[in-house]
Amino acid sequence: MPVTCVETPTGPLFLIEENGALTAVSWRPRATTAPSPLLDRARDLLGAYFAGDLRQFDLPLHVEGSDLQRAVCDVMLEIPYGETRTYGDIARQLGVPAQAIGQACGGNPIPVIIPCHRVLGATGLGGFSGEGGVETKVALLKLEGAAS
């Protein structure tokens, strides 16, 4: 499976492709391979995103996981750039407990591109499972103009 690394303001991101779809974005170091056209495109789109020139990613994605995990990722993909939702908002939309939404957000295999950083707690930021934790979440929200 092709793996490439993209340098970003939040640290190096490792992009993983399987069967023609992006399946993972991780801050955890991985051995890289020769890039693919999809990973080259993903790298270019991430560069545009971090430069403030891209508001929505258009990439083939494949989320491994439970039906709930995939449903939460689908809902997160619908949150517009610069906007946020709460875990409770998504819980009501899907008819499940907010805690389950938090766990699904934390298990998002394609952070940044599937914008789990746009999901907040009812009274605060909530968590962020990526490198740098909540500081990275805040940096992504500031980039998008969503942080107050």
Q: Which residues pair with 120 in a beta bridge?
A: 86
Best CA proximity match to 18, nearest among 62, 73, 77: 62
Establish whether 73 is a catalytic residue.
no
| Identity of the residue numbered 139 | A
Active-site residue, from 5, 73, 105, 116 = 116
CB atoms within 10 A of CB 14: 17
What is the C-alpha to C-alpha distance for residues 53 and 31, in angstroms, rounded to an integer?
Answer: 29
Which amino acids are annotated catalytic? Answer: 116
